[in-house]
Amino acid sequence: MNDKYKGLFEPFQFKNGVSLKNRIIMAPMTNFSSNSDGTVSDAEVNYYARRSKGVSMVITACTYVTPNGKGFPGEFAGDRDEMIPSLNRLASAIKEEGAKALLQIFHGGRECPPNLVPNGETVSASAVASERAGSVTPRELSEEEIEDIIHAFGETTRRAINANYDGIEIHGANGYLIQQFFSPHSNRREDKWGGTLEKRLTFPLAIVDEVKKVVKEHAKAPFIIGYRFSPEEPETPGITMADTLRLMDVLADRGLDYLHVSQTDYKAVPRRGIEDKRTRLEIIQERVGDRIPIIGVGSIYQAEDALDAIKMGVQLLALGRELIIDPDWVEKIESGREGEIVTKIDKNAQQRLVVPDPLWKAIVNSPGWFPGVD
């Protein structure tokens, strides 16, 4: 290994005592490849196992906590105890390759396709449609339903514990239900769940507290709890960088193990809300990085990109598309072959890359999503 990359391979220990063998993590990515009954498929297990050897931790694609939270076709289920063996199968495949396994838990809210949820009825914080093409207006959740969903996040956490995961990641990013409650675009409520910025924090924090309670009650060993968030929204009104810094402050003091920034480029800078020309990653790291570990992500294709991101102060890096393109990304750097890292998808290499058919079709039919697809 080239000495300048040694920092990427230093062990890392969370405050709860769980240790990682290096600083590189597999980011959560939807793969559309689960069985129709919500169980994990053979193709999914093989896909994860192929990418679990070099990284220190794998965060799975999101699993839905209630039937009306299913956000994608081919998404595996975590909403009932019958799914524990399926969840365990995936955790075991990851851990057998030497990585920690984290289950990402979520509810899609208004972003759920109507054909995937009971009675075709999507729900959200308020009856406000997404601005994406073809979106439908969701039904506003009642207070009782909100409490039920909070409880469901706890129940899926319990299932993750029973399925032998090393932790969970709360998916508060990418415009899904938790973010919908935090966003002034999707949350127009005037009760305790919405209105002011502080009230829009109520739902995300209630989920954090519920998950922590369940972990305290059921986990017999240290169990990682992370939270993923999107720094800003393009909509007006929408989440600004100033809003996110307030969210960071509150989450940093909530006893979580890490915060995970969701963005497509680690060099991205704020759109609005604050006057600062530094990257979002640097701003967030400066704000809360001394209180909680930050995972940086986004377009870290080369070893030099990883070094650049680490120089921003973050302690952990997540690779998403990069590990689909080159499953041996980490091992190549570790063995001094960083010059061999592949940065564009080989459209003739599906079998060699061990990518399930539904994900492969999404990749090759989505110009601009993956380098090499045009």
CB 153 within 8 A of CB 90: no
Domains of the chain are 24-323 (3.20.20.70)
3-state SS string for 40-97 = CCHHHHHHHHHCCCCCCEEEEEEEECCHHHCCCCCCCECCCHHHHHHHHHHHHHHHHC
Question: In this predicted structure, what is the pLDDT of residue 231?
Answer: 97
CB 116 within 8 A of CB 76: no
Calculate the CA 215 to chain-centre distance: 19
- Which one from 48, 165, 176, 227 is the annotated catalytic residue? 176
CB 96 within 8 A of CB 160: no
Catalytic residue list contains 165: no
Question: How buried is 139 (Cβ within 10 angstroms: 0-12 exposed, 13-18 middle, 19+ buried)?
Answer: middle
Average pLDDT, the chain: 97
Using DSSP's 3-state secondary structure scheme, residue 319 falls into strand
pLDDT tens across 190-210, in order?
999 999 999 999 999 999 999
pLDDT tens across 286-320, in order?
999 999 999 999 999 999 999 999 999 999 999 99
DSSP structural state of residue 231: S
Picking from 206, 136, 137, the residue whose alpha carbon sits closest to that of residue 178 is 206
For residue 146, is pLDDT > 90? yes
State pTM to two decimals: 0.98
Structural tokens at position 321: 């598309």
Pairing, β 258-261 against β 294-297: parallel
Terminal Cα-to-Cα distance of the chain (whole angstroms): 34
pLDDT tens across 163-192, in order?
999 999 999 999 999 999 999 999 999 999
For residue 369, is pLDDT > 90? no
